[in-house]
């Protein structure tokens, strides 16, 4: 009986080793180390074996297995994957940013982890809404979230007292239903293809997140006003980015909107601003409708 057990274990080890050598990188998602499209206890076992040098992982598999972002494959990673596969989340992963109960679903082109929780997608702790990633129709904070509102209030005050410029909100939070009505009107007027260049389909609008707003004007000429120039140069200091920058339509999926700002926090906004990249480029995300 013991001999049979040993043979089975050896065969299992050999099979797992073979998988480790043959899995195509394109098949891998975070936690799915064996590349079968599922997050299972088998992935945790594979990581555990790798942590004691019984299995050699490729570089892509190491990215999938390193759940705590410490650049080492350890038993802790196996434990994290096991927790995820049974729906317990991953409280030990610092990259989760408090996202206990979220599921790791993949890796971006820039190596950032992509999580889903309650039907919403997060990258680097940021709620993502673009043409690729949608929000549930039920998601409705009802207004700008406090951190966004407070940051804009401070920016508005500083612009006025520091530069004599008046920044004001012309469009803030919009519900799924409001966006549906707005988008339908644009489609009726300009056609679907044209509407998709400047208006989000319901569920794909950043306004629904409660973390985005339009400022002062809905015309590109706003960029050449004193307020527009000040906003472009200073928004990051308050945690905002110009969400759809000039020349980035291929990446964002939308025309240049110098008036549309998105709150991401001062640290992230500053990094994105200094990079000269749009959010999709910075995190390696796509923004393309499935149909």
Cα radius of gyration (the chain): 23
Q: Which residues are catalytic?
A: 257
For residues 25, 268, 205, 136, the Cα torsion angle rounded to the nearest 10 degrees is 60
Q: Terminus-to-terminus CA distance in the chain, angstroms?
A: 56
């Amino acid at each position: 009986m013991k001999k049979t057990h040993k043979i089975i274990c050896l065969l299992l080890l050999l099979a797992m080793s073979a998988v480790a050598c043959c899995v195509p990188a394109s098949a891998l998602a975070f936690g799915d180390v064996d590349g079968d499209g599922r997050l299972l206890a088998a992935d945790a076992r594979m990581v555990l074996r790798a942590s004691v040098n019984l299995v050699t992982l490729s570089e892509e598999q190491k990215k999938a297995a390193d759940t705590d972002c410490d650049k080492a494959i350890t038993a802790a990673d196996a434990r994290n994957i096991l927790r995820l596969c049974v729906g317990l989340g991953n409280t030990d992963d610092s990259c989760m940013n408090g996202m206990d109960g979220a599921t790791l679903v993949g890796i971006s082109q820039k190596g950032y982890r992509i999580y889903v929780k309650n039907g919403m997608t997060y990258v680097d702790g940021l709620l993502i809404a673009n043409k690729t990633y949608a929000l549930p129709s039920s998601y409705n904070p009802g207004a700008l979230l406090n951190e966004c509102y407070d940051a804009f209030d401070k920016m508005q005050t500083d612009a006025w007292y520091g530069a004599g410029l008046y920044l004001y909100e012309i469009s803030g939070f919009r519900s799924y239903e409001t966006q549906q009505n707005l988008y339908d009107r644009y489609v009726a007027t300009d056609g679907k293809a044209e509407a998709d260049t400047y208006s989000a389909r319901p569920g794909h609008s950043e306004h629904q997140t409660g973390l985005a707003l339009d400022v002062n004007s809905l015309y590109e000429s706003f960029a050449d006003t004193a307020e527009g120039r000040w906003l472009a140069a200073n928004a990051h200091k308050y945690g905002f980015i110009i969400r759809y920058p000039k020349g980035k339509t291929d990446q964002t999926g939308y025309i240049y909107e110098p008036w549309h700002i998105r709150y991401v926090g001062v640290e992230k906004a500053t990094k994105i601003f200094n990079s000269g990249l749009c959010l999709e480029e910075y995190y390696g995300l796509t923004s393309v409708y499935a149909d």
